[in-house]
Structure 1
Amino acid sequence: MTGAATRLVGVAEKLLGAPLPVQIRAWDGSQAGPPGTPVVVLHNRRALRRLLFKPGELGLGRAWVSGDLGLEGDLYTALQAIAGLIWEREDGEGGGVLHALRDPGVRAAIGELIKLAGPPLPPPRPPEEVRRSRHLHTRRSDKRAISHHYDVGNDFYELVLGPSMVYSCAYWSEDGTLETAQRDKLELVCTKLGLREGQRLLDVGCGWGSMALHAAREHGVHVVGVTLSQEQATYARKRVAEAGLTDRIEIRVQDYRDVADGPYDAISSIGMAEHVGAQSYLEYARDLYALLRPGGKLLNHQIARRPLIDESEYQLDGFIDAYVFPDGELAPIGTTVTQLERAGFEVRDVESLREHYALTLRRWVVNLEAQWDLAVRLAGPGRARVWRLYMAASALAFEGNELGLNQVLAVRTPDGGMSGLPLRPRTWHG
């Protein structure tokens, strides 16, 4: 009798209309496909049922997170091959596989897959998946979304991020380490903001306190850091106390919309604005504008996506929304600049760090894989698999120019019209 893998490869190539770029190893131990390519391992029939009941990215993600599906070989090579099968074949009619169902031969092939998959019952969703029907971006829903992602456990994040505890794009030199690259990023932000002794800095989405600590220690500023994550705040306060900087740094569990003790001389928002949402972004920009003194500066460090011909067609990434950043929305850099300027800001500099984020993500994957058993003990196998997949896939997206990372320097320019920035701002002096 023909092994399940051979049958799966035959059906897959019929569906795709092209040779399969990966090998398949099935639950019965059979293996088929082009030698020397990555191996997609279906540990059980449930993996196939997940892909059948939710074709595309979300079904693949569920199979991966649950441990029903695995990959052997280089992770990045495997993801690139799978991207060609799933993401790059999607169209406005629901994806290449669904579109192909119009063909009678394809329908027959799907029927064979259903027989291979076993009883036609949809497997339960992995417990790591977030379930909700609407993206509200209320204070309550935003707090829930932030808790889902950031309250995984500080020990787990220490393992992935390393000693810097900075969870955003680093700023790399040719031969730097992750720790020096993150330090250089924090210094770049401080320098762009022109921080000086005695000034007030608001750090929106302060994480585990790394930006606040660097700014207070190296530039003598007074910092208020706000986060919606109780675990982050507890960790950051401990670091502040150990550094002897409680007189200069205050860490709050607070929504940025509830900050009311301005004016501030500068605001840093590093990797936070992706959580705001398109409908709330102008409010976000106006709130930060109102918290700055005239002449105050905002450094907005944010992931961007490529623009669409019809922006109304934008949809949240299924896997990321369900497992990683619930309610996270990305906008093109042009949209972000426009919204900041609509709020009253004068945008003075935009710098792309796209390749820097790819390097950062790859280093985080190395950290995770090097201590995999500990990561599983700390966060559970499903959560560890989520982080490994999303970080590796994101690295490829930054390398392929599907995603970008930009630092936008904006000023609340005084009524007199002079920004106070140097004539040659890229020197970052003055």
Structure 2
Amino acid sequence: MTEDHSEPVAGDRPEPTAAQDVRQMSPRKPFASPSIKAPTLAYEGGGARQFSSVMLYVLIAAVPYAIKRALGLTLGTYFVLAALLALPIGGLSLLAHSWLVEAPTDQTAALPNQPLESYMTILDKELKAQYHGSRKIPMDEFFERYFDGDIDLTGDALTMFEKRHDWAIFPITLRVARFFLLQWIPELLVHSKKQDETQVRDHYDRGDDFYAAFLGERMVYTSGLIGDVDTHESLDQLQDNKLRDVCERLQMRPGARHLDLGCGWGTLVAYAARNYGTESVGVTLGRNQTEFGNQRAAAWGVADRARVLCMDYRDTPRRPRYDCISCLEMAEHVGVRKFPDFLNQVSDMLEDDGLFYLQIAGLRGAWQYEDFSWGLFMAKYIFPGADASCPLNWVVAQLESAGFEVRSSETIGVHYSATLSRWYDNWLASRERIVAKYGKRWFRIWEIFLAWSIIIARQGSSTCYQIVAHKNRNAFDRGALIRKPLGYASPSGSVSDGLVAKLLL
């Protein structure tokens, strides 16, 4: 699947159609990198910008007061009622608003206003009677019925999802609310070793061939990094860029003790040992991943310095301490409730002059309702138990509370989008093999996950943070981590012209 990223020449640009309000169209710089699948319809959905926090506070105060007045209750009872009803009122307000909210008017693109049938064929008669023509379908209704075989797509899933606002709405339905209350919250509150083990093994021990179908030879299930924005780098190149970046940021050296928490198929462990001479240990709950990782270390000739252990991260050997610890997109599975304990454990296992590399998926604070739909879809089908995907300020606050100093933080969502696009292309190429062995339903689940996530990561709904931290101790050599400023070798011209000297005279 190829994407044409060339810009139209003068005279080839189409005239605005009647459906477009050119007064709302603002010029924007196109995605120029051939590594990124550019958006064809960057449309903003309703969300936090339209939600009134003031109105919510008024309701939280007024509803209990109305009950107090009607029943003749005491003032003390009113405060108890307000505390008890705050969450239900907030939840119901959010649910109602998700159905009523309208999209912002300051759009950079106009919807094509095509009928639903342009995007999908609904096979179920009752469902077709509900959603047809200009009647948009709730997103959770779409993907559930698509997985069940009640809907077929008329074309490519990614092309269709680029125009999803033309055929879908993103309300909080009863199905979504039920999943959130009866599964997501209980999982968030528990996160026992048994729960995490069951979720991980059910997911990652499905079959290495299932994951190889989209991850490719490297078998790395985390975001790669774009190295050259002017070329279309392969998936292997993106992942090699990331592997080198992790090792360099952690200042790996021969003999350094390295721990990779949630190591997946162990590629980073073997890579660090082979290319940087480290003594690397990876930890995962996946049985298949453990076997694969140790076989790869042996194949690469570093089995004596790289090994993968099959265990819960909480059981990781803590002594002797490690010179560097990496954790790439596993910490989400630790859970919000367990996150402080996790970071305290990392601190205890890390040498006082060691470095911690955390790559973690997160959500934007200025949410749109689509973000909720996508997040709950992911929690149900793709990454169950990964509830510690939070905005960056939450992650940084947790690190600082655990005694870390954040040395650097980068948002790499657009890199993740590029990585996902390679996974998506690989997945489509593996359609016949996956359907034959795992069935059409599993193929469709990952088809929607990858197509939708390319967009989600690119537009910032869910992104990925790359954080380097160390213990915030007085004796830490912070000078060893200094990097040259961007453009350091370029002439600045800010002092040599003598303007500052003239101003001082």
CA distance in 1, matches of 2:346, 2:160: 42
Structure 2 equivalent of residue 299 of structure 1: 357
Post-superposition offset of 1:83: 4.0
* Greater Rg by CA: 2
Post-superposition offset of 1:50: 11
Structure 1 equivalent of residue 157 of structure 2: 75
Structure 1 equivalent of residue 273 of structure 2: 216
Alignment map for 1:243-258 (pairs within 5 Å): 243-258=300-315
Pair 1:251–1:47, CA change in 2 (3 A): farther
1:319 aligns with 2:377: yes
Structure 1 equivalent of residue 220 of structure 2: 166
After the TM superposition, which of the residue ranges 339-348 and 149-158 deviates more from structure 2? 149-158
Structure 2 equivalent of residue 140 of structure 1: 194
CA distance in 2, matches of 1:403, 1:304: 6
Post-superposition offset of 1:132: 7.8
Post-superposition offset of 1:333: 0.9
Structure 2 equivalent of residue 43 of structure 1: 123
Are the aligned partners of 1:212 and 1:224 in contact in 2 as well (CA < 8 Å)?
A: yes
Pair 1:137–1:45, CA change in 2 (3 A): farther
CA distance in 1, matches of 2:186, 2:455: 29
Pair 1:50–1:369, CA change in 2 (3 A): farther
Are the aligned partners of 1:21 and 1:81 in contact in 2 as well (CA < 8 Å)?
A: no
Return the TM-score normalized by structure 2. Answer: 0.66
Are the aligned partners of 2:279 and 2:306 in contact in 1 as well (CA < 8 Å)?
A: yes
Which residue of 374, 390, 396 maps to 2:455?
396
Post-superposition offset of 1:372: 0.7
Post-superposition offset of 1:413: 4.0
Post-superposition offset of 1:77: 3.3
1:285 partner amino acid: L
Structure 2 equivalent of residue 35 of structure 1: none
Are the aligned partners of 2:139 and 2:373 in contact in 1 as well (CA < 8 Å)?
A: no
Are the aligned partners of 1:300 and 1:407 in contact in 2 as well (CA < 8 Å)?
A: yes
Pair 1:48–1:344, CA change in 2 (3 A): farther
Structure 1 equivalent of residue 147 of structure 2: 65
CA distance in 2, matches of 1:309, 1:165: 32
Structure 2 equivalent of residue 335 of structure 1: 394
CA distance in 2, matches of 1:143, 1:22: 45
CA distance in 2, matches of 1:84, 1:147: 38
Pair 1:46–1:132, CA change in 2 (3 A): farther
Post-superposition offset of 1:415: 4.1
2:361 partner amino acid: I
Structure 2 equivalent of residue 370 of structure 1: 429
Per-residue Cα deviation, 1:47-81 (whole angstroms, up to 9, x for no partner) = 55999xxx733322211212221212242232233
Which residue of 201, 213, 228 maps to 2:285?
228
Alignment map for 1:117-128 (pairs within 5 Å): none
Pair 1:57–1:343, CA change in 2 (3 A): same
**SS of 1:202 mapped into structure 2:** strand
CA distance in 1, matches of 2:353, 2:273: 21
Pair 1:206–1:17, CA change in 2 (3 A): closer
Structure 2 equivalent of residue 279 of structure 1: 337
**SS of 2:304 mapped into structure 1:** coil
Instruction: Give the share of equivalent positions with the same residue, in percent.
Output: 29
Are the aligned partners of 1:86 and 1:95 in contact in 2 as well (CA < 8 Å)?
A: no
Pair 1:276–1:45, CA change in 2 (3 A): farther
| CA RMSD across the alignment | 3.2
1:410 aligns with 2:492: no
Post-superposition offset of 1:159: 1.5
CA distance in 2, matches of 1:335, 1:376: 40
CA distance in 1, matches of 2:446, 2:166: 21
Are the aligned partners of 2:424 and 2:447 in contact in 1 as well (CA < 8 Å)?
A: yes
Post-superposition offset of 1:95: 6.1
CA distance in 1, matches of 2:129, 2:346: 48
CA distance in 1, matches of 2:431, 2:382: 19
Pair 1:22–1:319, CA change in 2 (3 A): farther
* Equivalent residues, number: 362
Structure 1 equivalent of residue 414 of structure 2: 355
**SS of 1:149 mapped into structure 2:** helix
1:267 partner amino acid: I
CA distance in 2, matches of 1:289, 1:389: 38
Are the aligned partners of 2:293 and 2:307 in contact in 1 as well (CA < 8 Å)?
A: no
Q: Which runs of 5+ in 1 are unaligned?
A: 1-14, 26-37, 99-124
CA distance in 2, matches of 1:340, 1:16: 36
Post-superposition offset of 1:309: 8.3
Pair 1:224–1:276, CA change in 2 (3 A): same
Are the aligned partners of 2:353 and 2:476 in contact in 1 as well (CA < 8 Å)?
A: no
Pair 1:231–1:134, CA change in 2 (3 A): same
2:158 partner amino acid: Y
Pair 1:24–1:343, CA change in 2 (3 A): same
Per-residue Cα deviation, 1:182-213 (whole angstroms, up to 9, x for no partner) = 01100000000000100111001111111011
Per-residue Cα deviation, 1:283-306 (whole angstroms, up to 9, x for no partner) = 111111111010111100111111
Alignment map for 1:145-160 (pairs within 5 Å): 145-160=199-214
Post-superposition offset of 1:401: 1.8
Pair 1:343–1:66, CA change in 2 (3 A): same
Q: Which runs of 5+ in 2 are unaligned?
A: 1-99, 104-110, 132-136, 487-505
1:228 partner amino acid: L
Return the TM-score normalized by structure 1. Answer: 0.76
Pair 1:338–1:16, CA change in 2 (3 A): closer
CA distance in 1, matches of 2:139, 2:123: 18
CA distance in 2, matches of 1:290, 1:196: 21
2:339 partner amino acid: Y
